Structure 1
């Protein structure tokens, strides 16, 4: 199993020591470095800026939000970064949720799977550069229908370094996970648990079965890069306490009560009552109580925490899942310690 470093998105400003952590990850033999975006920092600029200090690691977005850019704009960025990195770029895409899509980007959220399918098709066309891009979909039209009538199909002026840039899809629900296996080269899970491996494996198999026969890649090449907190600490409860506030935010406060995909992940994992309690408390403004309502067992199901021997023992369960890469976070010192335990 490979290791990757996930910088994540910024909070109030750039994460301190990010460049040192990235270069440390490369020196330690990490396979990849990833950036993210929410509704503050973007994913592409930090990847280009900090990625320029690397020579070997794969540089990926986890994730670029589709509603933030048209498919052709995203494809332009992918072409550019792939050239600048010498063919090391991976495009990680995600639909995000209605709170951000409609509240921040002012774009409609309905039919995210159909939108994703069309989006990926357009990006593939731009990168392949085999012909002017044409797409007559329900979500996107190139050229645009109902405009001035002056638009015409265009082909990128930039020739691709690679005619096929890997595309990974962030997904949590079974239909979206299946879609990643059908049309993409990888899946970017969040809150993955070895307990849920059979569920996700079945969803991926459904997608592989629907994959076009002439589409490159497949099961043998498919990447699953899971964001997994790893905290090496002698006290398991103290380690869990470092993660619980973030879990409370995602379970309770990311999205609306009616639509929160993170909440649903934990409900499927067997923590439906816990997830409901955390959500009710969080939305009522009782964040400390929401955090306290998360059992350590839930943390241990989705993270590797505790003394080195415990982590090494539990790692075996992860190695038997569909996950091919563990994406970890932290500063340079944390990465060195994680590499020592997991390496």
Structure 2
């Protein structure tokens, strides 16, 4: 089992110690460090900042949102970072959700699987640099065609030769069809939350994954002798995602919780959240569910639970925390 440091996206201000944490993770033997974007900071700039201060740790986006940039622009950022870091880049991609895509990027949230497949295909063409990049796809036609086209576009190859044609591409996916496609077209999967005790939830979707396919799962870790206290931040996160990160009509996180065996609880959490009863929604998150997808409690309990993760298909645990937690997890895992 490998460890990765999940830095996520920024809040109101940049975290003052994010580079320090990345450097410490590298010194302790962590395999990767990951940065995210939502509707604030982008994910590539902090990763470049970290890459300039490190030398061995892999640099991943978790995730770069498809609607934030065209596939060729995304490929340009990835190949540049791969060169600057000496081949340490991992390009993690995700479609985000309709609220962000339509509300922030002003684009339609249509056919996410088709868009993802087209996007990845174009990036791989750029990285291979075997021929000028073209696409007959519905969403990213190259050259551009349409009523407003000048008709002067021509297929191009990247001026800069990519360092690696096989730069790894990971995809953040939740829905069954999306995970199945991820196992087919990507080099790794970034689940939002995963339970090593319910491997059957994704077993069929992952059956077609090739050898060497990586699964890097973000796992909340809270070391505390009181289990209820340790679980509370996990329940708060789940309450927010299941209750509020999506519309009443469609919430992918709620749907995932239902597939994992907690459909009634997921419905209750969402209803309470939309009624403005956030504390009650958090309280309704089952302790058992929060415990399955996290590592909480005293150190020895976490050490025992780590064996269950070792026995799962997950290849890397991505943890978010301060310097002390980074060191504690290195002691427990590495």
Residue in 2 aligned with 1:214?
none
Q: Choose from 270, 276, 279 the match for 2:270.
A: 279
Contact kept, 8 Å, 1:232 with 1:338, in 2: the verdict is no
Structure 2 segments unaligned to the other structure (5+ residues): none
Following superposition, the deviation at residue 243 of structure 1 comes to: 2.0
Matched, 1:290 2:281: yes
Contact kept, 8 Å, 1:17 with 1:332, in 2: the verdict is no
Q: Choose from 198, 217, 221 the match for 2:212.
A: 221
Contact kept, 8 Å, 1:134 with 1:142, in 2: the verdict is yes
Q: Distance in 2 between matches of 1:254 and 1:74?
A: 25
Contact kept, 8 Å, 2:201 with 2:259, in 1: the verdict is no
Q: Which runs of structure 1 show a deviation greater than 2 angstroms over 4 or more consecutive aligned residues?
A: none
Contact kept, 8 Å, 1:4 with 1:30, in 2: the verdict is yes
Contact kept, 8 Å, 1:18 with 1:331, in 2: the verdict is no
Residue in 2 aligned with 1:318?
309
SS at match of 2:13: coil
Following superposition, the deviation at residue 242 of structure 1 comes to: 2.2
Matched, 1:269 2:260: yes
Residue in 2 aligned with 1:193?
195
SS at match of 2:59: strand
Residue in 1 aligned with 2:126?
126
* TM-score normalised to structure 1 length: 0.95
Query: For 1:240-251, what aligned pairs fall within 5 Å after superposition?
Result: 240-251=231-242
Q: Distance in 2 between matches of 1:252 and 1:42?
A: 25
Residue in 1 aligned with 2:159?
157
Following superposition, the deviation at residue 293 of structure 1 comes to: 1.3
Residue in 2 aligned with 1:211?
none
Q: Distance in 1 between matches of 2:198 and 2:9?
A: 26
Residue in 2 aligned with 1:258?
249
Q: Choose from 316, 328, 334 the match for 1:337.
A: 328
Contact kept, 8 Å, 1:95 with 1:116, in 2: the verdict is yes
Q: Distance in 2 between matches of 1:278 and 1:225?
A: 27
* TM-score normalised to structure 2 length: 0.97
Q: Distance in 2 between matches of 1:116 and 1:190?
A: 17
Q: Distance in 2 between matches of 1:230 and 1:15?
A: 19
Contact kept, 8 Å, 2:7 with 2:36, in 1: the verdict is yes
Q: Distance in 2 between matches of 1:122 and 1:162?
A: 15
Structure 1 segments unaligned to the other structure (5+ residues): 209-217
How many residues are paired up? Answer: 332
